[in-house]
């Protein structure tokens, strides 16, 4: 209950400014306001091919947003969310309950709601991205808790990413899966675009990984199984994500993962795409090669899943090095797996990090892989069984 109070506090004494104000929360007053909101939004690091060094810097800045931690780590089931936690059409593949399914936000099949800022109470900032800030928010009418991402149109324009954002909205709003961050809706005023997102109660997976250094095999396997389930869903819809990495994965209140950031994803009905995008460490060889060979399909996500599996288990990406060396290692598929990684896990990594995209293990076969089966039986969390059904993860241990 104390946690609920904590979260409720996050909404206290907050005034939302509307359309005419420059900033969403310029009149916000925080009682524990250590991190006041700066108005400047950095456009630095805009380049899509961020170097390894770039990648390392970002999370440190993110970790410094201390006042979001309170909310993120709060183990809450808000009354509004409890009502929304009932299961629905899709049974999650790996035992994590589906959340937020019957919300007013979500469940509006016939008449899409006309959203505006006044319908939300704005809470604490949850984080800051390249083009905007994300706030905890609550729909006034229902008390439904969500995350509101605020993007400034002028900055999107300057960054030349309007198209990309439009694509992100278009794609993400059609996706409904327990391991994919739900986009409930969007609206805009003259200056800003607002995205109404599912609130991922346990924050960024990247932070969890950095805190724990590397995940135990059971946890890595369960995360990878959830990733595979989400990718299977995406690929069936002919969507490839193309930017799979820990920074783009959030963690839900029950410790389940939520893929976010569809900025680089693309609808691929039949054709193969040729754009360069994503972070170097996670780029598959076919995306690095120039010329005729530089085509790729949704198999790019399988390579990235291999990199992710490795990073979960080892604590760093397999090809991490200088930019030139990383590129060289990727095109040759050169990496070594430390001794402490189990043979089963090594085997899955080997079957994902295959130079020839067509020869990578299929998503259906990942589900049946011995390493996954060992740690995620019958769609139930092995760990969950072992602890008598109590959901636990690292952040539980920390608090
Ligand atoms: P980029 O601009 O490259 O997408 P980013 O992913 O960090 O960077 P945002 O997606 O704008 O940027 O999110 C900023 C931060 O806010 C995230 O890193 C995360 O900590 C937090 N955040 C974003 N969305 C949510 C959410 N739905 N629930 C909880 N926290 C969130
Ligand atoms: Mg993001």
Q: Tell which one of 74, 129, 263 to mutate to probe ligand 1, the residue whose CB is within 8 A of the most ligand atoms.
A: 129
Which residues form ligand 1's pocket by a CB distance below 6 Å?
62, 126-132, 134, 147, 149, 181, 197-200, 203-204, 250, 261
pLDDT of the residue at 111: 53
Strand pairing of 120-128 and 132-139?
antiparallel
Q: Tell which one of 48, 103, 134 to mutate to probe ligand 1, the residue whose CB is within 8 A of the most ligand atoms.
A: 134
Residue recorded with tokens 């996706």 = 175
Say whether 199 counts as a known binding-site residue. Answer: yes
Identify whether the C-beta of residue 233 lies closer than 8 Å to the C-beta of residue 91.
Answer: no
pLDDT of the residue at 207: 95
- Would you say residue 44 has pLDDT above 50? no
- Would you say residue 190 has pLDDT above 90? yes
Any idea which ligand is nearest the CA of 181? 1
- Would you say residue 108 has pLDDT above 90? no
Among 126-135, 168-177, 200-209, the range with the most confident prediction by mean pLDDT is 200-209
Distances (CA, A) of 76 to 81, 116, 237, 256: 9, 26, 33, 15
Output the residue whose Cα is nearest ligand 1's atom 1. Answer: 129
Helices (H), the chain: 2-9, 52-63, 69-73, 79-84, 153-159, 162-172, 205-212, 217-236, 285-288, 300-314, 323-332, 343-352, 363-367, 370-375, 382-386, 394-398
Identify whether the C-beta of residue 66 lies closer than 8 Å to the C-beta of residue 32.
Answer: no
Instruction: Indicate the length of the chain as a whole number.
Output: 399
Compute, in angstroms, the gap from residue 378 CA to the centroid of ligand 2. 32
What is the band of 132 on the pLDDT scale with cuts at 50, 70, 90? confident
What global pTM score does this model have? 0.72
pLDDT of the residue at 267: 56
Q: What CA–CA distance (Å, rounded) separates 307 from 317?
A: 6
Say whether 200 counts as a known binding-site residue. Answer: yes
Atom of ligand 1 nearest to the CA of 127: 16
Compute, in angstroms, the gap from residue 379 CA to the centroid of ligand 1. 28
207-216 — which CB contacts under 8 Å span 24+ positions? 207/59, 207/62, 207/63, 208/251, 208/393, 208/394, 208/395, 209/246, 209/311, 209/312, 209/315, 210/59, 210/63, 211/394, 211/398, 212/394, 213/315, 214/312, 214/313, 214/314, 214/315, 215/312, 215/313
Compute, in angstroms, the gap from residue 278 CA to the centroid of ligand 2. 12
Compute, in angstroms, the gap from residue 293 CA to the centroid of ligand 1. 34
Output the residue whose Cα is nearest ligand 1's atom 5. Answer: 129
Q: What CA–CA distance (Å, rounded) separates 149 from 133?
A: 6
Catalytic residue ranges: 243
- Would you say residue 13 has pLDDT above 50? no
Q: Which has the higher per-residue pLDDT, 79 or 348?
A: 348
């Amino acid at each position: 209950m104390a946690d609920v109070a904590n979260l409720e506090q996050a909404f206290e004494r907050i005034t939302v400014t509307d359309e005419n104000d420059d900033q969403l929360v310029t009149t916000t007053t925080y009682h524990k306001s250590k991190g006041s909101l700066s108005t400047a939004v950095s456009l630095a690091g805009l380049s899509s091919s961020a170097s390894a060094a770039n990648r390392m810097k970002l999370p440190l800045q993110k970790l410094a947003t201390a006042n979001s931690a309170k909310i993120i780590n709060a183990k809450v089931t808000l009354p509004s969310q409890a009502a929304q936690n009932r299961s629905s059409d899709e049974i999650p593949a790996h035992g994590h309950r589906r959340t937020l399914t019957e919300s007013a936000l979500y469940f509006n099949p016939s008449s899409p709601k006309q959203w505006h800022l006044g319908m939300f109470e704005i809470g604490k900032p949850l984080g800051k991205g390249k083009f905007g800030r994300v706030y905890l928010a609550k729909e006034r009418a229902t008390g439904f808790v969500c995350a509101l991402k605020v993007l400034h149109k002028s900055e999107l324009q300057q960054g030349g990413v309007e198209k990309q954002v439009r694509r992100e909205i278009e794609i993400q709003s059609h996706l409904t899966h327990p391991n994919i961050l739900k986009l409930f809706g969007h609206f805009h005023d003259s200056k800003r675009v607002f995205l109404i997102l599912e609130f991922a109660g346990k924050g960024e997976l990247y932070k969890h990984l950095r805190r724990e250094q590397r995940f135990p095999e059971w946890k890595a396997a369960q995360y990878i199984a959830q990733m595979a389930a989400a990718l299977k869903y995406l690929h069936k819809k002919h969507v490839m994500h193309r930017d799979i990495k820990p920074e783009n994965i959030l963690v839900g209140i029950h410790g389940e993962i939520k893929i976010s950031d569809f900025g680089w994803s693309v609808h691929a009905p039949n054709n193969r795409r040729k754009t360069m995008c994503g972070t170097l460490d996670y780029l598959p060889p076919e995306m690095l090669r120039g010329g005729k060979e530089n085509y790729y399909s949704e198999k790019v996500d399988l390579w990235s899943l291999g990199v992710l599996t490795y990073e979960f288990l080892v604590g760093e990406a397999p090809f991490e090095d200088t930019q030139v060396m990383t590129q060289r290692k990727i095109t040759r598929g050169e990496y070594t797996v430390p001794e402490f990684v189990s043979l089963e896990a090594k085997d899955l990594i080997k079957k994902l990090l295959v130079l020839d995209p067509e020869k990578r293990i299929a998503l259906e076969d990942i589900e049946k892989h011995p390493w996954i089966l060992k740690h995620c039986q019958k769609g139930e969390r092995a760990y969950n069984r072992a602890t008598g059904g109590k959901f636990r993860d690292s952040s539980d241990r920390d608090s």
